[in-house]
Amino acid sequence: MKIPKDSIKYILFQRTGYLKNNLFFRFLNYVGYLKYFYKLSINLKSFFFSSKIKNEFSEDMAKEYSLIKNIFLRTLNQSWTSDVVLQG
């Protein structure tokens, strides 16, 4: 998945669970809880961790796609089975 560098900040605004095991990243999260340093913490995280965030985001999107795809296929299969039973 190709992710533009400018989108890293927006990913961080929406998905906060990435890189939770990295000590420096966690420190920046705590700094970000302070009202006046939130944007600064986002800017620093996106600067230092952009490639790792892109990797984790891509993995996350692949998992979500797989989950949605499986649910859709099961729903489609159940719908098709119901139609066959009702018509038969």
pLDDT tens sequence across 19-50: 777 788 778 878 887 878 988 988 898 888 88
Residue 72 pLDDT level (bands cut at 50, 70, 90): confident
How far is residue 34's CA from residue 43's CA, in Å, rounded to a whole number?
A: 14
Rounded Cα–Cα distance for residues 49 and 41 (Å): 12
Q: How confident is the model at residue 81 (pLDDT cuts 50, 70, 90)?
A: low
Joined together, the tokens standing for residue 73 give: 């296929």
